[in-house]
Amino acid sequence: MADQNAASPIPTFGRFPALDRVRVPADLRNLSVE
């Protein structure tokens, strides 16, 4: 859980709980959400 503060925070405003937990842009590519 230490990585959350290490990476640039991406405010999803709770609309995307999955993205809210993963605040790393690199991890967002792994979440094929289109």
Per-residue pLDDT tens digits for 9-18: 556 555 666 6
> What is the structure's pLDDT at 16?
65
**How many domains are contained in the chain?**
1
pTM of the complete model beyond 0.85: no
Contact 22, 9 (CB under 8 A): no
Q: Which residues contact 13 (CB under 8 A, 6 or more apart)?
A: none
- Tens-place pLDDT, residues 1-34: 445 444 455 565 556 666 556 556 666 566 665 5
Query: Do residues 29 and 20 lie in contact, with contact meaning Cβ atoms separated by under 8 Å?
Result: no
Enclosing domain of residue 33: 1-34
User: Which residue in the block uniquely carries the two structure tokens 């709980």?
Assistant: 17
User: Quick one: pLDDT at residue 6?
Assistant: 45
